[in-house]
Structure 1
């Protein structure tokens, strides 16, 4: 894997930079973006003024030492919140730095109008330019191959050392700036201007330079601001009410009460949780084009998956030769061998290998192939084979095609052809009929294998209420067998590319969020329509542009990992929000009685923790409020452990563990701090 995946979460350099950035972020122009912590910073400034002029807001019983202690507590509360965000950002910036090392200034061979090539810096290339890249050279810009074929080292992007073959046309024609051609040559049409390449976007997104708040973050921020304003009004109205009751409040204690009431814990960690979510996705080698996509992944209701390459390995291999009628297995094997000897597809090679293992030897193969004509496979004919110079023809293909050709020539169709074809289909295989000069000899059983572990993962998704839909071009019988073996909830057989977008729109009309994967140009509309579209890095530029996520490993099953990361992000945010709100309730019942006990002695009965004095109670609550933020930073960055469950189960778990824990933890922590302060002689 590349260096960016080896970033240490808490290296000395990262922590040092995070501390520096914590102070930089104290700038009010930056703090105002986080209204909750900005209000705490204002409170710290006011307590500093009260340290210098204790009677600034009227007569006060609090001394300079108490006010200064409160200033330090509030100052470090803000600093710890900034530190949480800086650590999360620092991990992304460390990854971005590793990526930047791969992006030096590259020279490009650009095609001129007269047909000649000229050498120019990569930064001079613009969208639409055409460049030629030869063996050993760095690809200077994102683009599409328009001519040639080459092996390309994409380890700088994917972390995998094995080269990939890219060629003009098809679904594997896009190339990425910074990758290297290691054999042959290609001609590339540039698709992005400088600063807009895939590597540039990766760097910007990984380091968070262009990170925008997601809809859920915005909604939660609005809620936190609303709560803050409400508590600000509550505290402000306490002054006249207390005056009417003959109770006087020190300004510093009012500030402490306000900070205890507002949700500082989640306010300080909210940004770090979102940044860490994108970081976890990057560690999985997936680049999200926005935080919105990660959140959407956490809310997904339906997943649309291709069978081939996603649910199964996608390489159908010959498993058996099955004779029909009066023919023997050896006859079928020999005919299948001759029909496939010039077939360079994986299926064709597997048929030849199986025939050889069955003992098939074509003694006069070299002479027979002289003047022979290869019958190429096409979507229209759905067959392939070999026609010898003598006129003898060996073909293999879809059973219905071969059967119709036999009927057209007046040849009999073996009665056991249909039941044996159905048997292969029911077992999840693909049947190919084999014929010589139109006469059907038997069947080739091509078998695809379901990837191990998928059935269990689909069961986990089902437990979360997520439906899986498999799309395949196979016949309904084959599709049903594969669907049952894989454990998907629904399947669509004999599907066409346009069926993807139809199914996505159908589910979305029912109010569901849909995710899908794709790599081809024909997948682009569906990827754009899906709420979460995961494009393969090996796919076309159109697919990557349409999707809101790109998998650098080009593993279609990565979508399941993406959903788990999205769920974990939402669970973490919900858990820490529950903890923060419960936390505030506990702190309120510690501070408020301590503030008013001088005017209403009866409220001393609420001092259930038997804290030493009102002063130690307030200081203990504020110290706990400050230190809980750094204590929760590892949890915010790592994320709450993800377990497959329904939304109701997750809510109950959050309330039980983090809600109840948020009530208990402050009482325990505040009591311990009070004991420590009393030991130090604070009264």
Structure 2
């Protein structure tokens, strides 16, 4: 899991999509603007389609009630009947408006992404050479050429070449990244731009399946399915709706409560029913979920579903792959450690010669370290004794590379155990100092590479020394892990490194635990063990070997700089490839759950207050004993019902900004959070209807005499 260091961003501006996903300019970010309500209104009206309304039982019942009162107002017209009808329809539209606004906040992003897809052309490789085609015409398996300054036409893997790729306009990466053929840094995203050189890309996702298509579907909410929490809460809220429906229909004394002609009694019955059912929370429920996903988009995280966002809020164990996630992944030579009486310059020269044909980032860093710190200037092309050298490439079976120089001298560089075995096979003796250096480097969190020599004049092979490769921990992780600890999340680093190396990196990063020498099977077993103990597990990773664990985890967060396999296996993709982003992801998940909880608390308290506010006024003529609890002393039964209907519609509109913005999550125990929410939103939910209904009643009595 290694990659070349990212180059410095060129001194020029890269055009960004209008309100694209990169940087801080986000469509829909920030507080709700009044204009967004007007823009979403047509969609809210389209949602009045009964086929759409039926997905939300409470709002569907409200729509049926509004249609019924409309008919009654036409047959038996009255000011009261038409006012009730208008406000009931406004209640239905308000319920649809909350969801419509939440969905519309990403449409600017989607439109910009669509424009990118439409205008991008590709140079597809055919038997006859290159052929210019439209990007949307590409199919899985097609091969395209992309040069400097050109946009990559689709998601794929680099199969030839190496280039710097700028993804700021689409993925939000703040700096260009290196993409090269082979290994785990070959995946590229459609819509990103090649800054230098030339690459050949094999398309892995055709039109309709690409990253941009998934992004469009996400920001528009097109493929959003209701989460288990939403489904359960909708079922719970549907029950009181059914109960009140039966109760109101069987309330025969209601006939005595109205002196309006004809259908006024039925209008009051419908109004009473729709004031009692939990319209507030059901109208805002889907908006809360969509807004949660939108907040992740604003943070450059692509979530496959609302379920993943919700689950992130309940995560208690986080597994992080070390290389590329906790550490930068591009190990560099930090020190040369010669053994015994080996001269430092001789060891540095030997290390350089053994690495001249090593095209890995590690090999380049060894050559650079030797030149910089030992004033060596050997170049493979002009070294006089190297044209006849035989280069030995690295092999997984030997775990070594090196060079056989003219005259019989041989140099080998690689894993200490492999190099030690090579020395023993050539009658050499491995000094005890090798194990000391290996332990020293590993304890410091580095990777040791041994260098050995077989002399030209004959004699046994011997170890020259150890190269210390350093894999630096990404900055800011310790503070983020500490924050996770306060949120009740246990962090575990998983790595294939030796336990000593793993412990050093874990201590530096500040994680709670680590799993060393981990295979894909070990990662799966650890996740399953945590899940069996009742924990929800999140996993971050970027490599092919992380894909099984990402798929098994409850929340699988793939780094965007990682492999296609990892991004396909996870249910979230971090476009910034920043493992510290998990804090933001968890906060968004918890914010979603807290927001839904406080709105539910407010809604229930709000409904109870409405009962206490209007039922004494409505039933006071039939049951005089209710006069003792009639604290509001509303003007009349009709005014009480109409005031409640007006409040029912207005409160939904008033709560839309809160549903979209979300309630701020503060780390702490659940009991203190529940107590705070009960005091703020529970008490507020009780007080708001009393105050608002009384004010509306006074206004109605003032402007509509005789009501």
Tell me which interval the TM-score lies in, with the shorter structure as reference length.
Answer: 0.7 to 0.9
Aligned to 1:58: none
Q: Any residues of structure 2 matched to 1:372-387 within 5 Å, and which?
A: 372-387=389-404
* Alpha-carbon separation, structure 2, partners of 1:125 and 1:445: 46
Aligned to 1:61: none
Match of 2:624 among 598, 601, 618: 601
Alignment check: 8 A CA contact 1:105 1:123 kept: no
My pick for the range that moved more, 471-480 or 183-192, is 183-192
* Alpha-carbon separation, structure 2, partners of 1:591 and 1:151: 68
Aligned to 1:268: 283
Aligned to 1:224: 237
TM-score (norm 2): 0.85
> CA distance change for structure 1 residues 79 and 96 in 2, over 3 Å: closer, same or farther?
same
Deviation per residue, 1:426-461 (Å, 9 max, x gap): 332333334444433443333333223322322333
| RMSD between aligned residues | 3.3
* Alpha-carbon separation, structure 1, partners of 2:203 and 2:332: 38
Asked if residue 390 in structure 1 is aligned to residue 407 in structure 2, the reply is yes
Aligned to 2:270: 255
Aligned to 1:234: 247
Match of 1:81 among 89, 92, 95: 95
Alignment check: 8 A CA contact 2:453 2:462 kept: yes
Aligned to 2:658: 635
My pick for the range that moved more, 98-107 or 115-124, is 115-124
Aligned to 2:217: 204
Aligned to 2:687: 664
> CA distance change for structure 1 residues 399 and 143 in 2, over 3 Å: closer, same or farther?
closer
> CA distance change for structure 1 residues 276 and 389 in 2, over 3 Å: closer, same or farther?
same
Match of 1:103 among 112, 117, 124: 117
Aligned to 2:226: 213
Could you tell me which runs of 5 or more consecutive residues in structure 1 were left unpaired when the two chains were aligned. 56-63
Secondary structure of the structure 2 residue equivalent to 1:643: coil
Q: CA deviation at 1:359?
A: 4.0
Alignment check: 8 A CA contact 1:325 1:415 kept: no
Aligned to 2:417: 400
Q: CA deviation at 1:151?
A: 4.7
* Alpha-carbon separation, structure 1, partners of 2:447 and 2:165: 33
Asked if residue 288 in structure 1 is aligned to residue 303 in structure 2, the reply is yes
Aligned to 1:4: 20
Q: CA deviation at 1:574?
A: 1.8
> CA distance change for structure 1 residues 146 and 333 in 2, over 3 Å: closer, same or farther?
closer
* Alpha-carbon separation, structure 2, partners of 1:436 and 1:312: 32
* Alpha-carbon separation, structure 2, partners of 1:546 and 1:423: 37
> CA distance change for structure 1 residues 457 and 553 in 2, over 3 Å: closer, same or farther?
closer
Aligned to 1:587: 610
Deviation per residue, 1:646-677 (Å, 9 max, x gap): 55554444334323332233333334444555
* Alpha-carbon separation, structure 1, partners of 2:476 and 2:672: 24
> CA distance change for structure 1 residues 610 and 393 in 2, over 3 Å: closer, same or farther?
farther
TM-score (norm 1): 0.87
> CA distance change for structure 1 residues 541 and 334 in 2, over 3 Å: closer, same or farther?
closer
Alignment check: 8 A CA contact 1:332 1:443 kept: no
My pick for the range that moved more, 37-46 or 438-447, is 438-447
Secondary structure of the structure 2 residue equivalent to 1:620: helix
Aligned to 1:59: none
Q: CA deviation at 1:561?
A: 2.8
Q: CA deviation at 1:479?
A: 0.8
Secondary structure of the structure 2 residue equivalent to 1:157: coil
Q: CA deviation at 1:379?
A: 3.2
Match of 2:313 among 298, 302, 310: 298
* Alpha-carbon separation, structure 1, partners of 2:257 and 2:617: 12
* Alpha-carbon separation, structure 2, partners of 1:561 and 1:216: 21
Aligned to 1:90: 104
> CA distance change for structure 1 residues 163 and 387 in 2, over 3 Å: closer, same or farther?
same
Q: CA deviation at 1:476?
A: 0.6
Alignment check: 8 A CA contact 2:118 2:136 kept: no
Alignment check: 8 A CA contact 1:399 1:433 kept: yes
Give the number of aligned pairs: 671
Asked if residue 554 in structure 1 is aligned to residue 569 in structure 2, the reply is no
> CA distance change for structure 1 residues 150 and 449 in 2, over 3 Å: closer, same or farther?
closer
Alignment check: 8 A CA contact 2:118 2:135 kept: no
My pick for the range that moved more, 514-523 or 568-577, is 514-523
Alignment check: 8 A CA contact 2:617 2:633 kept: no
Q: CA deviation at 1:337?
A: 4.1
> CA distance change for structure 1 residues 118 and 426 in 2, over 3 Å: closer, same or farther?
closer
My pick for the range that moved more, 418-427 or 73-82, is 418-427
Alignment check: 8 A CA contact 2:117 2:135 kept: no
> CA distance change for structure 1 residues 652 and 335 in 2, over 3 Å: closer, same or farther?
farther
Deviation per residue, 1:32-66 (Å, 9 max, x gap): 222211222222233334444459xxxxxxxx223
Alignment check: 8 A CA contact 1:108 1:122 kept: yes
> CA distance change for structure 1 residues 664 and 449 in 2, over 3 Å: closer, same or farther?
farther
Q: Any residues of structure 2 matched to 1:537-548 within 5 Å, and which?
A: 537-548=560-571
Asked if residue 477 in structure 1 is aligned to residue 500 in structure 2, the reply is yes
Alignment check: 8 A CA contact 1:334 1:360 kept: no
Q: CA deviation at 1:102?
A: 0.6
Q: Any residues of structure 2 matched to 1:184-583 within 5 Å, and which?
A: 185-239=198-252, 250-327=265-342, 332-361=347-376, 366-437=383-454, 438-583=461-606
Q: CA deviation at 1:396?
A: 3.7
* Alpha-carbon separation, structure 2, partners of 1:11 and 1:610: 37
Could you tell me which runs of 5 or more consecutive residues in structure 2 were left unpaired when the two chains were aligned. 1-15, 260-264, 455-460
Q: CA deviation at 1:580?
A: 0.9
Secondary structure of the structure 2 residue equivalent to 1:367: coil
* Alpha-carbon separation, structure 2, partners of 1:572 and 1:84: 14
